[in-house]
């Protein structure tokens, strides 16, 4: 099945985010070998050039590394993973705060509502 991609952003960036999320969420494990560019492109129903570009970007971020002749692997650097996990979490929180502000909530109100929500979850 094709991966779900939206219309507004460059496709390779969306693929970077999807693979990042998969790594963070543990779909791919540290040290796992990634499928080949061609297979990933097939799976996502995108152009191999686009997939290549996405993987290069992931390499640059340090989440994926290439071993000459044997392929691409997920990093085993746990510190790096935690770092990126927290970065993704911060992005989500900032998005949430922005949306709440648009609804007219003050920081104080947001804190109160959030605390109540977290308490109820217990």
Partner 1 sequence: MEQLLKCENLTKRYGYKTALDSINLNIDRGRIIGLLGPNGSGKTTLIKLINGLLSPSEGALTINGFEPGPETKKIVSYLPERTYFNSWMKVTDILDFFCDFYADFDRNRAMEMLHRLNINEQDRLSSMSKGTKEKVQLIMVMSRNADLYCLDEPIGGVDPAARDYILQTIITNYNENASVLISTHLISDIENVLDDVIFIQNGHIRLAASVDEIREQEGKSVDALFREVFKC
Map the footprint of partner 1 across residues 7-36, applying CB under 8 A: 7-12
Say if CB 73 and CB 34 are below 8 A apart.
yes
* Site for partner 1 contains 55 (CB under 8 A): no
Report the residue number, 15 or 64, with the smaller CB distance to partner 1: 15
* Site for partner 1 contains 60 (CB under 8 A): no
Say if CB 76 and CB 30 are below 8 A apart.
yes
* Site for partner 1 contains 2 (CB under 8 A): yes
Q: Encoding tokens for residue 65?
A: 């590394």
Q: Encoding tokens for residue 4?
A: 């779900």
Dihedral sign of CA atoms 30, 36, 42, 46 in order: positive
Rounded least distance, CB 50 to partner 1, Å: 7
Task: For the chain, state the CA radius of gyration.
Answer: 18
| Choice from 22, 49, 87, 115 touching partner 1 (CB under 8 A) | 49
User: Using CB under 8 A as the criterion, which residues of the chain lie in contact with partner 1 when the complex forms?
Assistant: 2, 5, 7-12, 38, 41-42, 44-50, 53
């Amino acid at each position: 099945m094709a991966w779900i991609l939206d219309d507004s952003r460059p496709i390779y960036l969306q693929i970077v985010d999807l693979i990042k999320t998969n790594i963070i969420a543990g779909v791919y494990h540290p040290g796992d070998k990634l499928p080949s560019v061609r297979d990933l492109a097939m799976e996502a129903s995108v152009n191999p050039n686009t997939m290549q570009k996405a993987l290069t970007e992931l390499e640059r971020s340090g989440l994926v590394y290439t071993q000459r002749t044997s392929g691409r692997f997920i990093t085993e650097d746990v510190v790096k993973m935690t770092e990126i996990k927290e970065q993704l979490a911060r992005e989500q929180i900032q998005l949430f705060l922005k949306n709440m502000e648009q609804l007219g909530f003050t920081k104080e109100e947001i804190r109160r509502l959030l605390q109540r929500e977290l308490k109820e979850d217990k």
